[in-house]
Structure 1
Amino acid sequence: SIKGQTIGVLGVNNRSTERTFTQHDSELLQDLAAHAAIAIENARLYEESLMRTRELSTLFLASEAVNSSLALDRTLSIIAEQLLSTLSVSQCYIGEWLPGQQRLNTLVVYYRALWRPTDAPTLSFKNTSLLEQAFSHKRAVVLTPTYQRFDPPLAAWMPHRYQAKTIIYIPLFTQNQPLGLVTLYYIGEPYPEATFPQSSFLQQLGLEIGIKLIGSDAENQPHSFFRLANQVIEVTGANWYDIALWNTAQRQFKTVLSYGEAVWARNPKPGFDLSGFPQLSRLLTEKISLVGPAVDDLQYLLEVSHGQSFLAVPLVIKGQTAGLVFLTDTLRDRHFSRREVELAQALVLQAANALDNARLYHDLQHSLEELHRTQSKLVQTARLSAMGELAAAVAHQINNPLTTILGDTELILQDLPPDDPNAEALEAVSRAGKRAHEVVRRLLVMAHQQPFDETLEPIDVNETIENTLMLVKSHIQHGNVYLTVQLQDDMPPVSAIRGQLEDVWLNLLLNARDAVTGQPNPLIGVISNYHPGEEQVEVIVWDNGSGIPEDILDHIFEPFFTTKPVGEGTGLGLHICHQIIEKCKGSITVESAYNQGTRFTICLPVDRKRDVL
């Protein structure tokens, strides 16, 4: 005993001689027991000191790791990695709790999992016909899944199985016999076909892992297998890597290794309703940690992830439950000790602080980006104001010669007979001059801050298109550009501002002309249609030019945004088109593909006043 507490029993017996122990022997034994108790206590204290030192070192290293980045997605990944390595578990799920909606949204799912064949997830040829195709042809196949209805927790808990954009099956053979299957999952984006490595390389690496898994004790050296799996992830760009071994007797695959991660730092996030998970709800509301054995809803989550034991810890930030950390061991049906639970709680507390800092940094970045956008808009507003003043000065300068052109053209037309060959050309000059005069008038009104006459009138769309084509048809067709025009007859008028739809068609046609320059077999088309059911007229302007890059497609209607060289474009054409169509209560949309062309679709409401008698 030590400090009045009995810690054990020390006893002796005499087998060599027959004699009775004396009082001296008893005193000697008591003395030995006292020394033994002190030695045992010292050893226990030393072991406890070593354990505490290791825990402090672990917490320090974990703290350094989780605070090494302020990027939210990277922080989430590091937190999961530290929890797995420190507590020697296989799977980590971190969820974000939305108490007002009673919902748990997934932030990160992180696997470094091994299974014994008896407990492993299974996969058979019945799961997909492409799997059978991969083995019959002995080559990799690519699957773009279309998911049927399933329980929402599955998508949140196992995103690689239920949310992958692309799945690649790679069959493994040895001596012409099936050995197993490598599965790659791409969750966020489809797989990069252009940079995807040769499947023979991946098959060779898969064979190396598969043969090692069969011939060695994977449980005692998991990191060597995880290093090989990580090599595949880095080479292929996949989010997830599974390897399954073929079980001939059961005619199915047994997944023995799963390595990957999926992070959702931004919305939308997968998640599920907590109304069917009372144990999880209790953990979150009462801020308590739970450890196996699993019952009810926790048993369900443990089963779908094919785990043997679990530890669930609430994620608390500034005294408020913000989420959940759910850790699973796929190899051992273990009971987490009090010390392990306390260590997990300490790690989760560090993780919560790091996550809070990362979120604050993320919000700050978002605010700064919003500030920069606002500043850019202010600069654009100032530029527009300056351009308005400049436009007014230019308008005054061109107004006088334009008046002379229009007057002289009218005088000449009056003296020409109707069948004169020059009459058509002079009429085109007159129309162009009147349009230019209307533009000058609008510029002057804008400069003097007088209201435009923006009354919506019944306008014949086909007439505005034909007027515009008369101005630019020869310019468009220069350079062997083929122009096709398909205008539906007898369309009702639309509600629009007189003189402004021509500006829209002019801008779109000139942009199309620039886009097809240098393209083989350049084509430009204009189509008009009437949709009675929707009471709107649709105009499509299309080309087979170079297309608009996807990353700038959302910006083309912004003022001053242009891809043309300096001096060749103001960046205002499409912005003006968008403004005019909006004033007409219509819409303008764009579709474009690289080196395939661009298609602008304008929808304008039919003038309803025509029905009023």
Structure 2
Amino acid sequence: MNLIIKSKKIFIPLFFKFTIAIVAIVLTFGTINSYLIYSKVYDFIKLESEKRGVLAAKALIESLSEELLTENYIDVQKSIRNFKKNDSSIEYIFIYIPREDIIIHTFTDGFPKNLIGINSVNSSTDSKFKIFESLEDGKKILDVGTPIENGVFGELHIGINENFAMENVDETINVLWIMVTIFLAVGILGAFLFSIFITKPIIKIQESADAIDLSPDKFYTVPEIKIREKIFGKFKPLFRTEDEIDILCSKFNFMLYRLMNAYATIKAAQDKLLESEKLATIGTMASGIAHEVNNPISGIKYAVKRLLKNPNNIEQNKEYLEMMLEATEKIESVVKNLLNFSRKENFEMCEFDIKEIIKKVEILLAHKLDKGDIELFLNINEKDKIIYGSPSHLQQVLLNLILNAIDAIRTGNNEIKKIVISVTSDENNSRITVEDTGCGIAEKNIKNIFDPFFTTKDVDEGTGLGLSVAWQIINSHNGSLVVESVEGVGSKFIIDLPKKGNQDA
């Protein structure tokens, strides 16, 4: 057993898809670049700070060599303070002379003892670097420690504020994210315009597809889909370029044209089939109609002879004239119904009384019903008698179904010979059932009875088109025609027709 799971479909407009893609790409680009800037650029700036610190230390040591040699520590202090004043990124400068335990520094509030030994250097090393966090204000400090004359005169320490480097990195990242925001705004606007450019022709195709109405009473005229005739619907472009969307529209227009041609051909064939079935039905009814006409004519002929034989008998003449009038009215009714049935009618939907249609069918089939000793019963309430559809076409459906019922009863062996036509309705649909007590339909044939030219009758008794045409007519009403049958017991044909306003349900 195969388990089929239907996935739930979620509609996402192209604009949102483009926007999501652009936002994802730009944010990914911005995040990667932010990381690269933070890591690579920061490392580069840190390296440059170390180089600058070493150069500053060496320059300062060279300028202080004479003062240190003469132990003129006052001038040394003045020099390092002036040096610090000229560079705002320098947090402190101090010289530590271990052999004399002397510290010369730029601090105004006393020298922080924790700086001693935080970045110790010796005579065998070049400059050393160490980043630490200031206990006072939390600043990150890069301490550049450099030995003076291989450590003979102690060591020089320059503290560089790393926040300057971080500020440069942060400023670069901020500029980057401003650019990312601008790209996002431009990208979303571009996605919006591009989605309009793409979806507008697609929406036109969709609207054109939705507007196709192949129902018989609303034959569709194919409009040509035109796209991108004007920019924003207002300005005509100087020149036009075509792409896949234009090709799609062109192919869709051609498909619609072929579809309508095919539909017109099929409709013409169906109309011919309908007329052929009408002629075949009229042929089937010919003997009955002749009987319905000949009987009144015989009566008229007899009355005329009596009038000629005794023209002065006023009472007798009056009686015969009334009989002749009744006979001519009956002939007129039969001929009128026959002409109405044979006339080619357009598929015009309206509300009508189904009982009137059944009466017309009963008149056309009166002789066949009488000849077969078949009773026709109607089970129709007043509230259910109004049907929505094409009266002439539904008359043909009922005529075909009742003719089939008459043939089935004639073939069967049921003692009770009757046809029951019932009409019921609910809020949305009307149901017509034609039930007979005939021979029924073999189970193997039920699936084929609505196929064109399928028949179980003798060659000269049926075309095999009656039920097929009936099914096509009901299908054109957006209705359904089904059969329930038990062989040897009878058949029931069930017609469901949507009420007015429910044709698309």
Same-fold status (TM-score > 0.5): no
Structure 1 or 2, whichever has the larger Rg, is 2
Normalised to the residue count of structure 2, the TM-score between the two structures is 0.36
Structure 1 length normalisation: TM-score? Answer: 0.30
Q: Which has the higher strand share?
A: 1
